[in-house]
Structure 1
Amino acid sequence: MNPSHLETLLAIVDEGSFEGASLALSISPSAVSQRIKALEHSVGRVLVSRTQPAKATDAGEVLVQAARKMALLQAETQAQLSGRLAEIPLTIAINADSLSTWFPPVFAEVASWGGATLSLRIEDESHTLSLLRRGDVLGAVTTEENPVAGCESVRLGVMRHLPVATPKFRDTYTTSKGLDWESMPVLRFGPKDVLQDGDLIGRVSGRIGRRRVSIVPSAEGFGEAVRLGLGWGLLPETQAAPMLESGDVILLDNNFVDTPMFWQRWRLESRSLTRLTEAVINAATVGLRP
């Protein structure tokens, strides 16, 4: 199997198009197309769905995994031969709350290596594992403990979310029976925000009425939306702490949501991936609950 063909397949998946791959590889779009056609001919399968964005088919995902592993090991080999760090590509799937709270120390650690590059894919913590299965990433922060095939899993700790809103918001939706959870406007991070939906189910006694639901797909923007009274939301405790201290928001109740977090990575003999795993674990030890 031609390594340049695998490299081209990986570029298409990462860039999302044949044109993007041609720019990334500094070759013509026709050359990209020819390489993929040759690769598909050699394996007898369609490997890329010609959609916007372009995606690997089931057969293509198998080769994408192989291509990404080859890219990592090739970069490490070049680094060892040259006596210096080559540009080592490290791809990670992570949820927005982790990225905005406990994960940033990983940036400092990777920066100290001098030659590695990080490529982050933002996804809900309950869905990051799908990127790992497809071969889009080498490692993932996830809520799933059981490792996917070919991977190993490490417990990181617990992320706690607090139900908060502004004092005015709380007063507006307080009745003689307490908080009116059924009708309170609520914030969601996105359509896959199972954390918020799952939490609400445990708070309502019957059918959820017609609510105003605002979607804010940014960790920082989500916090600001809560602080400014757009709705109530579940905030990571480290993000909520300064708002609670200032009085901008208050706790709606003491029903916190504790979510165990795990790090899953490919079971691959890679010094860079091992160092990355250590950096993630160290950051989680400081930033998450045990």
Structure 2
Amino acid sequence: MRIDPDLAATVAAVADEGTLEAASRRLRITPSAVSQRLKTLEQQLGRVLVVRAKPARLTEAGEAVVRLARQVALLEHDALSGLGRDEDGGRISIPLAVNADSMATWFLPPLARLSAEHAIDFDLHRDDQNFTARLLESGAVMAAVTSEEAPVAGCSVSPLGVLEYRAMAERRFAQRWFPQGVTPAALAAAPFVDFDRRDTLQQQWLERMGVPHHGVPRHYVPASHDYALAVELGLGWGMVPLPQQTSRLVPLGGPALHVRLHWQQWNLRSALLDTIAAEVAGEARRVLT
């Protein structure tokens, strides 16, 4: 049995766009044609590929088909480039996963340089560094910045560096909440800023300082730039990555926390994907510790 590349690309378009109608606009065919292509491939494979919801959701079988579609598109683009026919391949979309702090501090400059030299549309998926590898498994992205050192099945992995975090606070906030120093009693009462409910950096630091994090006041600010700004404005103390630390912040002491970052990408020979990896790794070497 063979999977028609056009049918696989239709599944990928539905996954990317979220609805059959949006996928039809991208593919320049009617919604009924999109639906018919899905049905045809599902009948051929004997599997449901897409759950028809809003947004549409891929099944496990659908994820496998999307991985195939993205790999075919990437290899086709590389082949046309090798033949000097880049214009025939048009622009290619490269989905990548990255954690919010990397995106806010070092990840975008290499993508801007790559976009100036290549016909690439980057499709960034933001998630916690502990969860970006799952997007590789599902076929949603071709490569990811992740804290997971063990390679995802079908992927290669290489180290990027360490993003260092230190407990910081705005000066007047520190004077108000820690007049006698950063003691366990003061830490139990002083509010801190959490990124979201999956972020554990603040809790880890509190535990290393001998303070249970349960019951400590906290604010949730789920955007990296806004998180650092919230700490600068005195909303609470927080674990701020080294590239975002400014003169308006004072350190609270205690241990620095280090998040080791890795680059995982599909394990296939692609000149374009390797070029992206090299540019990202070069920027990481300049910025990360």
Contact 1:165 1:231 in 2 (8 A): yes
Task: Give, in angstroms, the shift of residue 258 of structure 1.
Answer: 0.9
TM-score (norm 1): 0.91
Cα 1:47–1:72 change in 2 (3 A) is same
Contact 1:76 1:88 in 2 (8 A): no
- Residue aligning to 2:25: 23
Cα 1:52–1:198 change in 2 (3 A) is farther
Candidates 111, 128, 135, aligned match of 2:132: 128
SS in 2 for 1:264: strand
Whole-angstrom distance in 2 between the partners of 1:135 and 1:13: 10
Unpaired segments ≥5 residues, structure 2: none
Question: What amino acid maps onto 1:268 in structure 2?
Answer: L
Whole-angstrom distance in 1 between the partners of 2:217 and 2:26: 43
Contact 2:194 2:219 in 1 (8 A): yes
Task: Give, in angstroms, the shift of residue 205 of structure 1.
Answer: 3.5
- Residue aligning to 1:4: 6
Task: Give, in angstroms, the shift of residue 97 of structure 1.
Answer: 0.7
Cα 1:53–1:200 change in 2 (3 A) is farther
Identity rate of aligned residues, in percent?
36
Cα 1:206–1:224 change in 2 (3 A) is closer
Whole-angstrom distance in 2 between the partners of 1:70 and 1:207: 48
- Residue aligning to 1:262: 262
- Residue aligning to 2:47: 45
- Superposed CA RMSD in Å reads 1.8
- Residue aligning to 1:199: 205
SS in 2 for 1:181: helix
Unpaired segments ≥5 residues, structure 1: none
Task: Give, in angstroms, the shift of residue 83 of structure 1.
Answer: 3.0
Any residues of structure 2 matched to 1:230-249 within 5 Å, and which? 230-240=235-245, 243=246, 245=247, 248-249=248-249
Task: Give, in angstroms, the shift of residue 131 of structure 1.
Answer: 0.3
Contact 1:181 1:204 in 2 (8 A): no
Candidates 114, 119, 123, aligned match of 1:110: 114
- Residue aligning to 2:227: 222
Question: What amino acid maps onto 1:258 in structure 2?
Answer: H
- Residue aligning to 1:186: 192
Task: Give, in angstroms, the shift of residue 176 of structure 1.
Answer: 5.0
Task: Give, in angstroms, the shift of residue 203 of structure 1.
Answer: 2.6
Whole-angstrom distance in 2 between the partners of 1:286 and 1:277: 14
Contact 2:207 2:213 in 1 (8 A): no
SS in 1 for 2:121: strand
Contact 1:94 1:125 in 2 (8 A): yes
Candidates 205, 214, 217, aligned match of 1:212: 217
Cα 1:10–1:193 change in 2 (3 A) is same
Cα 1:144–1:214 change in 2 (3 A) is same
Q: Output one character per residue of 1:25-84: Cα deviation in whole Å (capped at 9) or x when no partner.
A: 122211111111111111111111223321211111111111111111122223334533
Q: Output one character per residue of 1:171-226: Cα deviation in whole Å (capped at 9) or x when no partner.
A: 222265743222321212222213333333323434632x3322222211111111
TM-score (norm 2): 0.92
Contact 1:164 1:232 in 2 (8 A): yes
Task: Give, in angstroms, the shift of residue 104 of structure 1.
Answer: 2.5
Whole-angstrom distance in 2 between the partners of 1:114 and 1:44: 39
Task: Give, in angstroms, the shift of residue 147 of structure 1.
Answer: 0.5
Whole-angstrom distance in 2 between the partners of 1:169 and 1:34: 61
Contact 2:206 2:213 in 1 (8 A): no
Contact 1:126 1:143 in 2 (8 A): yes
Task: Give, in angstroms, the shift of residue 113 of structure 1.
Answer: 2.2
